[in-house]
Structure 1
C-alpha cells in the first residue's frame, strides 16, 4: 500500500512537470487586450469577507471562434466570466472566506505518526507583474503571457448603518 501511494505521488508529480514544460505561450493572440489589473476588496463590515478581483479589458469584441477561459497570476487560477453589462470586460473573482462565519470548515485528519505537508505547485511560475490568460480557440486551449499586470487601488466603500424601519 505504501509503494502504491509513492507510485501515485510520483506519477502526479511527473505529469504536472511534463504538463508545465509542454505549455507553450502564444506569441500573438487574435484579439486585442486593453488592460489587465487586480483589485483587492474588503466588505467594510466585520465578518463580511474580502477578496481579489482581476479584470481583463478588451479593445474589441472577441471573434466567434474564441472564448476566454481562465487567468493565472501569482499562485492563483481563476475562471474568467464576461460582464453582463460590458461585453469587452471579463472578470475573475477570488473570495477569502477565512474571516466569515459561513466559511466552510475543512480538516484533513492525518494519523499522529504521519506529518506530511501537501504542497500544490502553481501551473506557471510568474513574477508579480505577470499573468497568463488561457483562451479556447476552435476547441483547443492556448495560453498567452502578459507582463503588464498591475494593481489598482481598493475602492472606498463607506460603512453605512443599516436602514431600520
Structure 2
C-alpha cells in the first residue's frame, strides 16, 4: 500500500515538472503579424558566407509594452529586431551561415602535406529546437513588460521570396 502511494506521488511530481518545461503558444497576442517573408542570400565571395533574412509587418497595440526576442524558424533561432518605418513597425531577423573558407587550409597532391588541416565542425543538430514546425511556420518569442514572462506565438504562412546572389567584387 505504501509503495503504491509513493509511486503515485512520484509520477504526479514528474508529470507536473514536465508540463512546466513545455512552451505554451499564445492564441491571442497583443499584436498582429502581417506578410511574413523569408529570403536567402549568398555573398559574392566565398568568405562572405550565406544567410537568411526574415521580415514581417508588426502591429502592436502598445509598442512600448512589448519586447521582441527571438524567432524559431526552420531549425534555426534568429534574434529579432524591431524597426520603426514610415509605414509602421517591422520585425526582422537574420541568420548568417558561417563560410568554410579557411586561409590555413592546405590542399596538396601529397596528402602528408595536408596533415595539419582541421576537419570541418559538424553542423548543429535540430535536437535542441523546441518546436515542431512546417516549412512555412515560425514561432516568435516576446516579453510583455508588465509580466516579464516569455511568451510564444506561432506565425503561419511565411512566404519564401526569391533568393539573392550578390555579385563578386572585382579586385583592384
| TM-score interval, smaller chain | 0.5 to 0.7
Larger Rg: 2
Structure whose residues are more often strand by fraction: 2
Tell me what 1:122 maps to: 129
More helix by share: 2
Contact 1:20 1:123 in 2 (8 A): no
CA 1:119/1:51 → structure 2, altered by over 3 Å: closer, same or farther?
A: closer
Who is 2:24 aligned against? 24
Residues of 2 paired with 1:94 and 1:107: CA distance?
A: 20
Runs of 5+ unmatched residues, structure 2: 1-13, 104-117
Match status 1:89 vs 2:83: no
Contact 2:30/2:60 (<8 A) preserved:
no
Q: Are 1:130 and 1:147, in contact at CA under 8 Å, matched by a contact in 2?
A: yes
Q: TM-score, normalised by structure 2?
A: 0.65
CA separation of 1:98 and 1:43: change in aligned 2, threshold 3 A: closer
Partners of 2:61 and 2:102 in 1: how far apart? Answer: 40
Secondary structure class of the residue paired with 2:18 = helix
Contact 1:37 / 1:56 at 8 angstroms: preserved in 2? yes
- Kindly report the root-mean-square deviation, in angstroms, between the aligned alpha carbons of the 2 structures: 3.2
**Cα distance in 2, alignment partners of residues 19 and 47 from structure 1:** 44
**When the two structures are superposed, what TM-score results if normalisation uses the length of structure 1?**
0.68
